[in-house]
Structure 1
Amino acid sequence: MARLRIEALRSVLGVLELIEPEEQAQQRSDLAAALKELRLASGLSGERLAVRTGMSQTKISRIETGRTLPSVFDVQAIVRALEVPKHEADELLTLARSANTEFHDVRSSRRRGLEHRQRELAKLEQDSHEIRFFLPTMLTGLLHTPEYARASMTNPQAAATAKRLERQGILYDREKRFTFLMTESAVRWPILGAEGMAVQTDHLASVANLTSVRMGVIPTKPVCPLPSLLSVFVVYDERLATAETYGGLVVMRDPRDVAIHLERFRLFEQHAFWGTEATDLLASIAAEFRARA
């Protein structure tokens, strides 16, 4: 049975890049079933596997029943404890990496309502201690003024706007750490009139003074020798990263994917203004907006 399951996984992995987001639940189910069958084939009890992997028996049970999605590290520990042959272990690890990557498409978010999306983000923020935002093109919701928040939504809804602004209260939690790293272009992107943009830029400078916040701005001058600034991404602690596309949001839990985004973040932050340099730049941008108004 375990051999048949591995063969089925091999066929799935052969077309992995073509799998639609809706099929991800099946990937997770296949992974859970394969791990359980491999344990049964080895003759190990759940208790013995728990001892060998350093996990609790409850966690092993939840993984095998599909109630808990195992991380790539969890799967690595299990296949090592079960002495799974390398080529089969590699296939399971590839599937685990795919299962730990989600895609939340824009169409589904709109069907559920933008307010639901704001609740999901609030939960992520509540569950994290240190959050790093990289903002190459536009400001994130935690930094919006009410006017900017409404203008940034394609179809603004009063409940969703209110929820976005309500989320900003977490910035005053001194137990948390927020790093906002943005480009000067993102600050200047004119989704409002000049006066509204001046108010928004003043708001950024005010948020930068909060105890929990560290804010950096990558200036457009002088020229910075940086690689392409592809998209907005956020890293929650060192356990999860999200990246935005036009079609939706990619959620990555694989430690390697998280590490890639952390590495890129640390590269970009070396080229930013911080502290008074950043707030001075913001003040000069706000003054330019007011001069135009």
Structure 2
Amino acid sequence: MVNRRELDPEAGPAAAFGARMRRLREEQRWTQEELAEKLGYSSQHVSAVETARKPPTLRFSRKLDQVFGLASSTDTLERDWRQLRHSALLEGFPEYVKYEGQAAEIRLFQIGLIPGLLQTPEYARAVAEGDVRRGAITPEQADERVAFLANRQAALVRPRSPMVLVVMDESCLHHTVGGTAVMDHQLQRLVEVASLPNWVIHVSPFGIGARRSFDLPMYLLTMPDLSVVAYAESQLRGHVERETAAVLPLLTAYHQLQAEALPQAASVAMIHEVRKGTP
């Protein structure tokens, strides 16, 4: 088959939906064009959903169930769509985490919240419970999110631990999460981690203004083969980028941000000052 794009169901809920859709289509020996005709959609739309370039809609999922004879079953594509809509993890993030677990160097920029890899369990739980109160996720999904983060943190402890370089916007230190006791322990955790040989922590102060390179979280991974993987996210989804032409400008911007940020000693001093404001 020409230009067949391989699917990774573990890359996220949309990828899992598309992989199942392709499997069901191929079991019927239908082409994308034939399925599109049965659905009343264009073949381009079918291809985009199947390869996770476009998210499915409720109407599209129900049409698939009708065409594949799943409408009266308990394992419908509509059910998969609802799980996709309410997934605890942002689309694209599971794919990123697979690379993170193998990276030789990890570079992070975070704004507003302490980066996940540095969060204490209490801080992570408070963040997840905030999302529950807003109705963004369920309590069960909050548990899933906290457990997923704990596994990410544990994956950093390996025979050859990665070098982790973190730039935090100053807002991360002032955004109170979980109350003063939780924040006190979280800030102490930052100080402790900064003393480890494979961690470097910088604070990007408010004073750098427009010289801050990024307005959204940014993750850059250097892999053992020296290739670089980038991950960025919006409010709706995350995106993994591996093309060198797209990644290198992001790496340059990160280096520029590090140059503008406070050195580690000054960053730790700022964390101590902020911590003095907590009981």
- Provide the TM-score with structure 2 as the length reference: 0.60
Please name the residue that 1:249 is paired with.
238
Structure 1: give runs of 5+ residues left out of the alignment.
6-20, 26-100
- Could you tell me whether the CA contact under 8 Å between 1:205 and 1:279 is conserved in 2? yes
- Could you tell me whether the CA contact under 8 Å between 1:134 and 1:181 is conserved in 2? yes
1:161 aligns with 2:155: no
Higher Cα radius of gyration: 1
Q: 1:226: how far off? A: 0.7
Q: 1:167: how far off? A: 1.9
Distance 1:111 1:185, change over 3 A: closer
Q: 1:276: how far off? A: 2.0
- Could you tell me whether the CA contact under 8 Å between 2:111 and 2:172 is conserved in 1? yes
- Equivalenced residues, count: 199
Q: Which amino acid aligns with 2:194?
A: A
Q: 1:219: how far off? A: 1.9
Please name the residue that 2:22 is paired with.
none
- Could you tell me whether the CA contact under 8 Å between 2:90 and 2:238 is conserved in 1? no
Task: Decide which of 228, 253, 272 is 1:239's aligned counterpart.
Answer: 228
Distance (whole Å) between structure 2 residues aligned to residue 185 and residue 228 of structure 1 = 15
Task: Decide which of 102, 118, 126 is 2:101's aligned counterpart.
Answer: 126
Please name the residue that 2:173 is paired with.
187
Q: 1:277: how far off? A: 1.6
- Provide the TM-score with structure 1 as the length reference: 0.57
Q: Deviations over 1:152-200 (max 9, x none)?
A: 2223532331231232124444441111111111222123212221211
- Partner of 1:134, secondary structure, is strand
Distance 1:286 1:189, change over 3 A: same
The alignment-based identity, stated in percent, is 24
What does 1:105-184 correspond to in 2, within 5 Å? 111=86, 113-114=88-89, 120-153=95-128, 154=131, 155=137, 156=139, 157-173=142-158, 174-184=160-170
What does 1:209-228 correspond to in 2, within 5 Å? 209-221=195-207, 223-224=208-209, 226-227=211-212
Alpha-carbon RMSD across the aligned residues, in angstroms, is 3.8
